A and B are shown apart, each in its own frame.
Chain A
Amino acid sequence: MIIKVCVGSSCHLKGSYDVIEAFKRVLKKYDVEDLVDLQASFCLGHCAKGVNAGCEGIKPAASGSAVQPTDEGFILHGVNEENAEELFANEIYPSLNIN
């Protein structure tokens, strides 16, 4: 699967680079660096709800208010350095189907 962290101007000002760093740490911690491709995107089109992270090739495990389904998967809204791990653990990790 792919996580695309939005690095458009609006999200960037809200801390995209910190979110990328946070996801990097989390992917390492959960040992899923080979399963999850961390990428950037220039604007996912939800500037007011940033930082946004588009998740592709996966279905959301739960549907919280921070999750919006898309054709490719779903978008996580309002990601920051602090909640990145929690969002990953709740929304992404269970769907990776790791035994």
Chain B
Amino acid sequence: MEQKLFDTNVQWIKYKVLKEVIRRAYEGGLENAYVEIPKIIVPGPKAELRCCIYKERAVVQERIHMAMGGNKENPNPVQVMETACDECPAAGMMVTDACRGCMMHACKDVCPKDAITIVGHRCVIDRSRCIECGRCAQACPYSAIIAQKRPCMKSCKVKAISINSDDKAVIDNNKCISCGACVYKCPFGAISDRSLVLDIIDILKNSDEGRRYRVYAVVAPAIVSQCRFGRVTQVVTAIRRLGFHQVVEAALGADITLYNEALEFAEKTKADPNAVMTTSCCPAFVSFVEKNFPELKGAVSSSVSPMVMAARLIKSSDPTAKVVFIGPCAAKKGEYTLEKTKGLIDSVMSFEELQAFVDARGIVTTECEDTELDNASYYGRIFAKSGGVAQGVAHVAQELGVEGVRSIAMNGIDQCRTALTLLRAKKQTANFFEGMACDGGCIGGPLCITHSPRNIVDVDEYGNQAKEKGIGGSVELYKLALRREGGEK
């Protein structure tokens, strides 16, 4: 596989480490991983990124640690690798040499805090007054003022990242929603999601090729945008060759989520015509509400996420089954351990990890035969994009005769915050809120291999290819499962 498969070089290095760890888990040599892999990734003798190859190798050791599960004491799947953190400058608004000390001094005029003075033909910013609003940078005709912010802190919409006394980034778990934005945005790859891939390999190995129990892969619909090399149907074959019994679309669970949410909405609005409801499928969004809008917690739908629902259907039909979710999401690596998930998900693998796994096992996706993947409807499949759930609920509500749905799609945490602030101030006309933490929805997830603008086109096309145009069939399966769980027969 080539580097161009990934958006960034950071992903490429992460992939190479993962692949080497996975290969060793099968072929032996895992016990020497910390000694041998750094030398493979950083052969030397010249350092390319850091001060010397020994520091570079120390960083690789931290990556190996994350590939093998990271700090298991830390409940947050998103973790900082201290050695890898390059201690980026974070001086705030800074005047560069491009400042000409001009006559206009637009910077001074726009500053809302009077933090700017012109001293000796140069703009000077008083740090004690500056609130880093950035207006001076926008106003300067020479673009002479820049905002020197750490990319991790800039990417974090919930302000969970700070700098400790050693200048290293630190994540505050009380604020962090595990969305993983910083994982994708840190230019030194110093923040990463914990990999559970060794657990998954154990699950697969212990299944004795399906004789002891069967292992199912539940794949997120965003997978369709990730298949630049090979078709989705070939990726399904590749996943099965890893030892999975069957691949099931998480979108099947999404169909049922739509059904449940439409019914729940009807129930809530019947009891109180002014009731509002938010979606619950995005775990980072749910965490965002819990931590930032606790008074709106009751408005979050009680439906389990599509991932969990798909696993429930599988385990209802095959009680000893193990289920591994494969998706673009860092927060799912936290969600699967939550009490409300009831142990239905046994582990979570990212698209990045899937690529490393397939390649480590020597499976060439483009040479695989096609295996169909079709369990869900059009509506379940478009859950992957922002606006998809709102569109689905509107449709299902109409089919079920539920009236009065006024939906809004909140795309990314900034939009979620704005819309929920208005809701809290009772200035919202909408009553159904779709919340997705990642910009663009799951197709913009941090653990996607690619984040191309084409992804949304792929999702729409994939939705249209579904055999089922409505959710009726999926709901039928759900009812069969409910009856079984209820033990009526």
| Chain A residues close to B by CB (< 8 Å) | 4, 7-10, 12-13, 17, 20-21, 34, 37-43, 47
B313 within 8 A of A: yes
- Give 19 A-B pairs besides A9-B247, A9-B375 with Cβ atoms closer than 8 angstroms: A4-B317, A7-B375, A7-B477, A8-B248, A9-B248, A12-B375, A12-B467, A13-B372, A13-B374, A17-B468, A17-B473, A20-B476, A37-B484, A39-B317, A40-B481, A41-B317, A42-B313, A43-B245, A47-B371
- Inter-subunit contact A43/B467 (CB<8 Å): no
With A9-B371, A10-B372, A13-B467 given, is the CB distance from A42 to B246 under 8 Å? Answer: yes
**B304 CB contacts on chain A under 8 angstroms:** none
Q: How far is the CB of B247 from chain A (nearest CB, A)?
A: 7
Q: In the assembly, what is the distance between CA of A58 and CA of B362, in Å?
A: 43
With A7-B477, A34-B489 given, is the CB distance from A40 to B317 under 8 Å? Answer: yes
Q: How far is the CB of A44 from chain B (nearest CB, A)?
A: 10
**Closest Cβ neighbor of A16 among chain B residues:** B473
Most buried by B among A9, A20, A47: A9
With A9-B247, A9-B374, A39-B484 given, is the CB distance from A17 to B476 under 8 Å? Answer: yes
Q: How far is the CB of A41 from chain B (nearest CB, A)?
A: 5
With A12-B374, A12-B375 given, is the CB distance from A42 to B248 under 8 Å? Answer: yes
Q: How far is the CB of A31 from chain B (nearest CB, A)?
A: 14
Q: In the assembly, what is the distance between CA of A8 and CA of B489, in Å?
A: 24
| Complex interface bits, B371-408 against A, C-beta within 8 A gives 1, otherwise 0 | 11111000000000000000000000000000000000
| Chain B residues close to A by CB (< 8 Å) | 216, 236, 245-248, 313-314, 317-318, 371-375, 467-468, 472-473, 476-477, 480-481, 484, 489
11 inter-chain pairs at a CB distance below 8 angstroms, sorted by A residue, are A4-B317, A7-B375, A8-B248, A9-B375, A12-B374, A13-B467, A20-B476, A37-B484, A39-B484, A42-B317, A42-B318
Q: How far is the CB of A60 from chain B (nearest CB, A)?
A: 22
**Closest Cβ neighbor of A36 among chain B residues:** B489
**A7 CB contacts on chain B under 8 angstroms:** 375, 477
Q: How far is the CB of A58 from chain B (nearest CB, A)?
A: 15
**Closest Cβ neighbor of B468 among chain A residues:** A17
- Inter-subunit contact B374/A43 (CB<8 Å): no
**Closest Cβ neighbor of B488 among chain A residues:** A37
**A12 CB contacts on chain B under 8 angstroms:** 374-375, 467
What is the predominant secondary structure among interface residues of chain B facing chain A?
mixed
**Closest Cβ neighbor of A18 among chain B residues:** B473
Q: How far is the CB of B356 from chain A (nearest CB, A)?
A: 25
- Inter-subunit contact A42/B372 (CB<8 Å): no
- Inter-subunit contact B480/A40 (CB<8 Å): yes
**B216 CB contacts on chain A under 8 angstroms:** 42
**Closest Cβ neighbor of A41 among chain B residues:** B317
Q: In the assembly, what is the distance between CA of A43 and CA of B468, in Å?
A: 18
**A42 CB contacts on chain B under 8 angstroms:** 216, 246, 248, 313-314, 317-318, 375
**B489 CB contacts on chain A under 8 angstroms:** 34, 37
Set B246, B472, B477, B481: member contacting A43, Cβ < 8 A: B246
With A38-B480, A42-B317, A43-B245 given, is the CB distance from A9 to B473 under 8 Å? Answer: no
**A43 CB contacts on chain B under 8 angstroms:** 245-246
Q: In the assembly, what is the distance between CA of A4 and CA of B318, in Å?
A: 10
- Inter-subunit contact A40/B374 (CB<8 Å): no
- Inter-subunit contact A41/B318 (CB<8 Å): yes
Q: In the assembly, what is the distance between CA of A38 and CA of B488, in Å?
A: 12
Q: In the assembly, what is the distance between CA of A88 and CA of B484, in Å?
A: 21
- Inter-subunit contact A9/B372 (CB<8 Å): yes
Q: In the assembly, what is the distance between CA of A20 and CA of B468, in Å?
A: 15
Q: How far is the CB of B112 from chain A (nearest CB, A)?
A: 58
Q: How far is the CB of A26 from chain B (nearest CB, A)?
A: 15
**Closest Cβ neighbor of A38 among chain B residues:** B480
Q: In the assembly, what is the distance between CA of A9 and CA of B317, in Å?
A: 15
Q: How far is the CB of A57 from chain B (nearest CB, A)?
A: 12
Q: In the assembly, what is the distance between CA of A18 and CA of B212, in Å?
A: 32
**B371 CB contacts on chain A under 8 angstroms:** 9-10, 47
**B484 CB contacts on chain A under 8 angstroms:** 37, 39
Q: How far is the CB of B88 from chain A (nearest CB, A)?
A: 46
**A4 CB contacts on chain B under 8 angstroms:** 317
Q: In the assembly, what is the distance between CA of A71 and CA of B61, in Å?
A: 49
Q: In the assembly, what is the distance between CA of A75 and CA of B317, in Å?
A: 16
Q: In the assembly, what is the distance between CA of A96 and CA of B313, in Å?
A: 28
Q: How far is the CB of B202 from chain A (nearest CB, A)?
A: 22
**A8 CB contacts on chain B under 8 angstroms:** 246, 248, 375
Q: How far is the CB of A79 from chain B (nearest CB, A)?
A: 16
**A39 CB contacts on chain B under 8 angstroms:** 317, 480, 484
**B373 CB contacts on chain A under 8 angstroms:** 9
**Closest Cβ neighbor of B321 among chain A residues:** A42
**B481 CB contacts on chain A under 8 angstroms:** 40
